[in-house]
Structure 1
Amino acid sequence: MGMLGKWFGARHTYPPLEADSDAQHYLDDINKELEGLARQVRGPLEVVPTDHEAFVFIGKPPKQFGIAWIHDGKVSSFQKLVEEWQLSAEQRYQFIHELQDAYEHAEGVRRYSAKIAGRRITVTPSPMLERAVHEVFEHMH
């Protein structure tokens, strides 16, 4: 991506996610929740799908982003998780910092594109990134 693309937020073009891939089947399992999230949020979405759940980076990770967790038929936003887990300001900072580190370590993994609720999203079917994010969640909870 060129300098102007970086300044103006140009997005990467990733190959389409294969219809018969495990990642697509995981997306199908959470389609209702993912569509609802895609309709509510304006920023770019990057989904890390796993079996029956997903972590969704919202915005422009690793610098400016939010996170949502799709699990058990519901979507938990960062704010909801902070409230449920009663995280202090220091713990919230640590949570975001650890997610940034996990994301940065996975920068070289393969990414794909998919369409959800009429929007183009990024899909990152990376067991390494999924494990790292899951560990951050476990550590904070």
Structure 2
Amino acid sequence: MTDRQPIVNATTAPLTNVLRFGALVDACVQRPRHLPGIGVFYGHSGFGKTWSAVHAAHRTRARYVECGESWTKLRFLRALAEELGVSQRGTGPDLVERIIIAVCRVWPRGLEFRWWRGCHAALRRAIRLQL
């Protein structure tokens, strides 16, 4: 028996899937404004897709919502609202409005309409992808 404590490295292992997912997130965030911010990360079961997504969410301070196969749009909106700390009550359009306000920053008054329309369109695209 030994009295020595093993040395443990407390950092994240540089796994290939974690690095690739991080590169995907960086590419989506730093894309030109005219391109959509959509990325696809896929693979067989057990290859670390979920772990990579959780790690990237922690690294970038993003919100992480894991969708179930049987979820409806309203269920997705409620889960997203819960993650953002927004009230989950009301209809789908009510939730969309609250989520947009929670996620998007307020711009100067002259840009409000374009900002609102852009955020609303982006959220609608994200919800459509959940089908």
* TM-score normalized by the length of structure 1: 0.30
Higher helix share: 2
Higher strand share: 1
Indicate the structure (1 or 2) with the bigger Cα radius of gyration.
2
* TM-score normalized by the length of structure 2: 0.31
Structure with the larger RCO, 1 or 2 (CA within 8 Å, 6+ apart): 1
